[in-house]
Amino acid sequence: MKLIYLYTNLNWYRIELFRGISKLMDCHIYILNGYTIGYQSIEYKPKYEDLNITFLSPEESKFQNLCKRLDAEEFDSVVVPSMNDAFYLKLTTRLSYYYHKRGKIILYFWEYWPMDKGTYGVLKWVKQEIRHFFTKLNRKSISYFITPSINTYSFYQRINIPSWKLIRCPNVSEIKWEGKQSDVRMNLGIHDNEKIILYFGRIEEYKGIQELIKVFKKLDRSDWHLLICGPGEDAIIDKVKGISNIHILGSIKPEERYKYYKASNLFVLANTYKGKVEPWGLTVNEAMSFGVPVIASNATGSAIDLIISGLNGYIINANRLEEELEYYINKILSDDVIEKEMGNNAKKLIGEYTFDNMALAFFVATEKGKNKI
């Protein structure tokens, strides 16, 4: 079997997925619109030469030119791009209809789930409703919707996509570290008996980093440290001046990420409903794989899938961030037994979230489609 994967960018965390799919079937990945591979704010070029990847220019990515290229290939299924802007709304709709009529298996993978009306501005709500219209429009043409989260699955059910078209798929990010030690504590002058709270991600308003900093200041624990890793530090640098136990570390190369997870006692992803939601939050996967308890808000897509409150961390209310953050950070870090048990449970719970299992969903969808045809 052969699968064509049309992708909007070659993110480092999807390369292993493509390797997993390529182990199960012939896979040709097209990166659309001239995107090159990289990582925000740092120079980073991962290895992908073993994969069948073609980068297409914006002109080559247009519907007619793209179809000419794909029509020259023999393939069974195609993963159409996520509809995250006007170009892809149109392209995915046309591709789905075109290849559905030609008997191909059309797969759609996206982490998206909607916010409730009234939680953000009118313009963004209108854009969301347009996206919903196109998703409904494409229901007949798309053979299977690959659904990485319970939130996504529930959204598709609400817009009357039949359950037999929905294929659950574990959403994965794995950090390779091969048992290496972390030098983070030593480099930052943090003692082994002191606690580290870790934030990993872009520094944007909806990520809740402002609230996390505010709560950390209120905790007033000189033996606890907050590590903030990710691009966009200019937005918060003034808020942490003179605070010696808040460490702004900027972007971290993917191969260095393990050091920060290994050094940490607690991971926090306190997303808000300010303008958008977190479709998934792969850093939750990463933290759990290193045995780190997690606090995440219900505006985080992965929270409902990965966190069992009281077992491996806590899901908190995005509308009561400061109050609940303060309470649950204290609850976990003030009790070494709870912290250790939650960390052990986190590592066990994330065990099935592997790239091989993620790739299997695309294989199963293709195989189901072939049998149906």
pLDDT at 46 over 90: no
Tell me how far apart the terminal alpha carbons of the chain are, to the nearest angstrom: 14
pLDDT per residue over 222-257, tens digit each?
999 999 999 998 889 888 888 999 999 999 988 899
* Residues 21/363, Cβ–Cβ less than 8 Å: yes
What percent of the chain has pLDDT above 90? Answer: 81
Stretch among 161-165, 327-331, 352-356, 367-371 having the lowest mean pLDDT:
367-371
Q: Cβ distance 24 to 96 under 8 Å?
A: no
Tell me the CA distances in angstroms from 265 to 95, 237, 292, one per residue in order.
Answer: 47, 23, 6
Question: Would the pLDDT of 323 be above 90?
Answer: yes
- Give the C-alpha separation, 77 to 192, whole Å: 52
State the pLDDT at residue 373.
60
Compute how many other C-beta atoms are within 10 angstroms of the C-beta atom of residue 118.
Answer: 8
Average pLDDT on 154-180 reads 93
d(Cα 227, Cα 225) in Å, to the nearest integer? Answer: 6
pTM for the full predicted model: 0.94
pLDDT of amino acid 41? 64
Q: What crossing angle do the helices spanning 336-349 and 321-333 adopt, rounded to 10°?
A: 100
Q: Is the pLDDT of residue 368 over 70?
A: yes
Mean pLDDT to the nearest integer, 78-86: 95
Taking all residues of the chain, what is their mean pLDDT, rounded to a whole number? 93
Domains by residue range for the chain, with CATH: 2-172+354-372 (3.40.50.2000), 184-352 (3.40.50.2000)
